[in-house]
Amino acid sequence: MSREMMRQGGRSARIQREVHAATRALLEEMDRGSVTVPMIAERAGVTPSTIYRRWGDLSQLLADVAVERLRPISDPDDTGSTTGDIEAFVLQYAEEMSSPVGRALLRDVIANGEDISCPSKCCRYTSDHLETISARAVTRGEPPLDVPELVDRLIAPICYHILFADRDVSPDYCRTLLDAVDLASPVAARAAG
């Protein structure tokens, strides 16, 4: 019985891998509006109903693939200082997410209807990175960072302008946001207090 379940797990993981790979390949080859579940199924060597059963519909599959691609592959750069770590992370976030690929991934994550697991996973990646930077600060004897405040002050405006396309999130703009957050006192103080 437990062996059966392990096999099931293995097959299930393989299906996920194949379907994700097929989706990514098709998204590179054609306009995303033209990609359909039957196409993905054919490419992945599964039946369309396997996909519908597992993902519900195309938008949820696209969101799942997008979240997987947004999953960080390493910790944020360690620059030796908390200010440096945050600046490096924020500049990289803005650059990656404002690229055509980044925008499309963000949109796919958000567009998937009522299922909120993908969007909340996606923003947890961001908070986790900031928590890592905060933990490093503590190791250096500094107070921890107020991560929710940093999300609101740095990540949210960048994300807003990328999604609504009303202004460039240039490095200069990001530095204005960083300068307005006094990392040395209020944020840290609020977290420590």
Query: Where on the chain is the footprint of its own copies (CB under 8 A)?
Result: 32-33, 57, 59, 107, 110-111, 113, 116, 119-120, 122-124, 127, 148, 151-153, 155-157, 159-161, 163-167, 177
Nearer to its own copies, 18 or 131 (CB): 131
Nearer to its own copies, 118 or 141 (CB): 118
Nearer to its own copies, 7 or 124 (CB): 124
- Reported residue count of the chain is 193
Q: Where are the alpha helices (DSSP H) in 30-185?
A: 37-44, 48-55, 58-70, 82-98, 100-110, 117-139, 147-150, 156-164, 171-180
User: What's the rounded Cα separation, in Å, for the pair 84 and 98?
Assistant: 21
- Shortest reach from residue 95's CB to its own copies, in Å: 18
- Shortest reach from residue 126's CB to its own copies, in Å: 9
For residue 1, with 0-12 CB atoms within 10 Å meaning exposed, 13-18 middle and 19 or more buried, which class applies?
exposed
- Shortest reach from residue 159's CB to its own copies, in Å: 5
**Which two structure tokens, joined as six digits, stand for 138?**
């503590």
Nearer to its own copies, 91 or 123 (CB): 123
Nearer to its own copies, 123 or 191 (CB): 123
Least Cα distance to 67 among 26, 120, 113, 145 occurs for 120
For residue 107, with 0-12 CB atoms within 10 Å meaning exposed, 13-18 middle and 19 or more buried, which class applies?
middle
- Shortest reach from residue 68's CB to its own copies, in Å: 16
- The CA angle 35-65-55, to the nearest 5 degrees, is 80
Nearer to its own copies, 46 or 177 (CB): 177
- Shortest reach from residue 67's CB to its own copies, in Å: 11
- Shortest reach from residue 174's CB to its own copies, in Å: 11
User: What's the rounded Cα separation, in Å, for the pair 96 and 55?
Assistant: 27
